[in-house]
Every structure is written in structure tokens, then in C-alpha cells.
């Protein structure tokens, strides 16, 4: 549906987009994720036509968008500050973009009703827009964009003004809506959890470039750099050395773990003798209680910090033979005690959960 080919954008001397090449599929929920200033909003605006580009090509539905103004593109944008008109009714807001479409009153009312139903605001048409909650206003903004039946809906941090509960509720609503209407949604967010929850695929951006483009599970389990690993969730790192690499099997010697073998996919670019880091998520290690078997491999460790969350406990443990603690997250089980700082414990782990970074 969208194709970027080596897209560059400058603001004066500032190189805001540095060679973006990617495709977004029709019907996909796609997110642009990255820290503030990485260029995600700029990239979204190049799709909408609000921002020109200095080099490269932006295609929508097979057509080069060079010279095509925003109002002639099959896209519509929903903004963070849901710019709805407070003095109008909900129905007038939603029907605003169709007021010159020459529809009969009855047809317009039907289209407005349909759009309101999609966003869960059936029956709210006569309500004054200023008399709505933040979440309801955002739904009006969505209905106003959807009523124009765009091929692509562009969402610029649409939920960031909402409180946590409402944001989580709207995330689920947005996913449901996208499945129902089946059009391509492109979301800009700096919230990694939001991107993981909502997206079919995510482009992680840093400094005007796409660092990795993949589905949520791949991004989480196989991040391609330490930067991506750190941006999405928590990743522990320990120093390691590659002892051999042959026929797609990489052997390493890692502090705290000892020798282990990894698949090639876990260790792209590993070279024998290379000093690397082995990375692993907090939930892939297990604090083993008395009599519990490891399943795969185990190491000895000392608990240095305990953070209790009710349903979870974080243990910061130092594996024997290592310099710095690593975090383990454990789901609490009724009747099982939370261990104290200073406790010596066995830790279970599996080579399959490790990722190697240069």
C-alpha cells in the first residue's frame, strides 16, 4: 500500500530522514516507533503530503506521490490533539468533511450514524462536542477521519493525551476497529508497549533511520542491536566470547553461564574469538526454589535486590563469576515465599532464549 524508496528529508541543514526504504502492506496495522526526535512524525507526514521530501520516492497504492497534494491523497490523519470543533455537535463534527460532497440530508445522516457506530458512539450525534470526555473526543476525531473512507488512516500519537486506563481501552478499540474496516492503519508512537500490543509490524526508528522492521515477537525475541533491545522492554547483557562457529552453530563462553551452543539466528555476524555480549530478557531466567528442577541449564547466584509488585517479583541477582547483577522477573505463585536479599539460589536458563550482540 505504501512504499518508501530511499527517502531523505532535510530541515535546513538537519537531516531528519536518512534513507528510508520500507513497504507497508494493505490492511496492515503498522507502527512507527522511536524516541522523541527520531523522525517518525516527519515520515508519517510525508505519506499524508504535509511534508515534501528532498530525495527518494513515496508511493501509495502503486502511484508516485511526487507533486500530489495532501487533499488528493487516499489518506486521512488523526492527530494527538484531537482538533474537533467544540461549538458544533458530534454529528456536525463527524460529517464536516462530507459537507461539500453533495449528499442528501438522509444519506449524510446515514453515513454519520455508521461512522459513530464504528467508534462506539451510537446515539451521541446531537451531543455538543465540548460536553465529551477525552476518550469520546478522540472517537469523534476517528469517526471524522473514517467517514471519508480513506485507504490509509494515519494516526499521530492519537492516544497520548488520554489517561492510562482510557488509553488501554482505546488501544483495544482501535485494534477492533482496524479489523472491522480492514484499511491500513499507520500509527506513530513512542510507547513500546502500545506498539507491541497493537501492531502487525513495527518499524523502530533512531535518528532518521529504520533500525529494525519486524513483527512484535521478532522485535522482542530477536532484536538486531543493543539499541533496539534496550528500547523495547528490558534486556540483560553479560560479556561473552565466541569460541567457535561452524555450520550454523555458534559456541560461546559467557560469564555466569559457561559454555553454550547457539543457532546462527541467535548470533548474526558472530566471528570466532570475538568479544560479544549475550542478551536475555528478565522472564527467560527462573529463580529455582528448593527441589525445583531447571529443565535445561542452571547457574548459582546471589540475590542482591528484591522488588515486589504483587503479581510479579523482580530479583536482581549476581550470577557467580560475574561483575554486575541481572534482572529476573518471576510471576508470584500463591503460597510461595518471596526470597530475601542475600539468599543463595539456583537460577534456571536456556541457551535458546539468548541473543548475541557485537
Ligand X SMILES: Nc1ncnc2c1ncn2[C@@H]1O[C@H](COP(=O)(O)OP(=O)(O)OP(=O)(O)O)[C@@H](O)[C@H]1O
Q: How far is the CB of 153 from ligand X (least distance, A)?
A: 17
Q: Which is nearer to ligand X, 42 or 313 (CB)?
A: 42
| Grid cell digits, residue 358 | 557485537
Q: Are 209 and 178 in contact (CB under 8 A)?
A: no
Q: Are strands 14-24 and 344-349 parallel, antiparallel or unpaired?
A: unpaired
User: Smallest distance from the beta carbon of 54 to ligand X, in angstroms?
Assistant: 13
* Inter-residue contact 313 to 289 (CB < 8 Å): no
Nearest distance in Å: CB 221, ligand X: 25
Nearer to ligand X, 36 or 104 (CB): 36
| Cα–Cα distance for residue pair 55/303, rounded to 1 Å | 54
Contacts of 66 (CB under 8 A, 6+ apart): 57, 58
Q: Nearer Cβ to ligand X, position 40 or 201? A: 40
- What letter does residue 223 receive in the DSSP assignment? -
Cβ pair 252, 330 in contact under 8 A:
no
Least separation in angstroms between CB 241 and ligand X: 37
Residue closer to ligand X (CB basis): 34 or 256: 34
Burial class (CB in 10 A: 0-12, 13-18, 19+), 346: middle
CA pair distance 59, 1, nearest whole angstrom: 8
| Site residues for ligand X per CB under 6 A | 11, 14, 16, 34, 36-42, 190
Q: Work out how close the CB of 187 gets to ligand X at its nearest, in angstroms, rounded to a whole number.
A: 12
Task: Tell me phi and psi for residue 19, to 5 degrees.
Answer: 85, 65
> Which of the 8 DSSP states describes residue 30?
E
Cβ 39 to ligand X, closest distance in Å? 4
Q: Determine the residue with CB nearest ligand X.
A: 41
Least distance in angstroms from the C-beta of 35 to ligand X = 7
What cell numbers appear for 75 in the block?
A: 489518506
Nearer to ligand X, 194 or 298 (CB): 194
Q: Specify the residue, 42 or 138, whose C-beta has the smaller distance to ligand X.
A: 42
Q: Which is nearer to ligand X, 156 or 316 (CB)?
A: 156
* b (16+ CB within 10 A) / e for 14-46: ebbbeebebebeeebbbbbbbeeebbbbbbbbb
Amino acid at each position: 500500500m505504501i512504499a518508501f524508496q530511499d527517502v531523505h528529508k532535510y530541515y535546513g541543514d538537519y537531516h531528519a530522514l536518512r534513507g528510508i526504504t520500507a513497504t507497508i502492506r494493505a490492511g496492515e496495522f503498522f507502527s512507527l516507533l522511536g524516541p522523541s526526535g527520531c523522525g517518525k512524525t516527519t515520515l508519517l507526514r510525508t505519506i499524508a503530503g504535509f511534508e515534501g521530501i528532498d530525495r527518494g520516492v513515496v508511493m501509495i497504492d502503486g502511484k508516485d506521490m511526487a507533486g500530489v497534494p495532501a487533499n488528493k491523497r487516499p489518506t486521512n490523519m488523526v492527530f494527538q490533539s484531537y482538533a474537533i470543533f467544540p461549538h458544533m455537535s458530534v454529528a456536525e463534527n463527524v460529517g464536516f468533511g462530507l459537507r461539500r460532497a453533495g449528499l442528501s440530508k438522509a444519506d449524510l445522516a446515514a453515513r454519520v450514524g455508521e461512522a459513530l457506530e464504528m467508534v462506539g458512539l451510537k446515539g451521541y450525534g446531537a451531543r455538543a462536542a465540548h460536553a465529551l470526555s477525552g476518550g469520546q473526543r478522540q472517537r469523534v476525531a476517528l469517526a471524522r477521519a473514517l467517514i471519508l473512507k480513506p485507504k490509509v488512516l494515519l494516526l499521530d500519537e492519537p492516544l497520548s493525551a488520554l489517561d492510562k486506563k482510557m488509553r488501554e481501552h482505546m488501544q483495544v478499540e482501535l485494534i477492533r476497529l482496524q479489523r472491522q474496516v480492514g484499511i491500513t492503519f499507520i500509527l506513530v508512537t513512542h510507547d513500546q508497549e502500545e506498539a507491541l500490543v497493537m501492531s502487525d509490524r513495527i518499524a523502530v526508528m533512531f535518528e532518521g533511520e529504520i533500525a529494525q522492521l519486524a513483527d512484535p515477537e521478532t522485535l522482542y525475541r530477536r532484536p538486531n542491536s543493543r539499541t533496539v533491545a534496550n528500547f523495547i522492554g528490558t534486556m540483560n547483557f553479560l560479556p561473552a566470547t565466541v569460541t567457535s562457529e561452524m555450520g550454523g552453530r555458534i559456541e560461546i563462553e559467557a560469564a555466569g553461564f559457561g559454555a553454550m551452543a547457539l543457532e546462527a539466528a541467535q548470533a548474526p555476524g558472530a566471528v570466532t574469538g570475538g568479544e560479544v555480549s549475550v542478551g536475555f530478557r528478565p522472564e527467560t531466567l527462573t529463580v529455582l526454589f528448593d527441589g525445583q528442577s531447571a529443565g535445561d541449564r542452571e547457574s548459582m547466584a546471589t540475590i542482591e535486590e528484591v522488588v515486589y509488585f504483587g503479581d510479579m517479583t523482580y530479583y536482581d541477582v549476581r550470577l557467580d563469576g560475574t561483575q554486575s547483577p541481572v534482572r529476573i522477573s518471576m510471576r508470584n505463585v500463591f503460597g510461595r515465599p518471596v526470597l530475601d536479599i542475600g539468599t543463595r539460589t539456583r537460577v534456571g536458563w536456556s541457551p535458546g532464549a539468548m541473543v548475541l550482540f557485537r
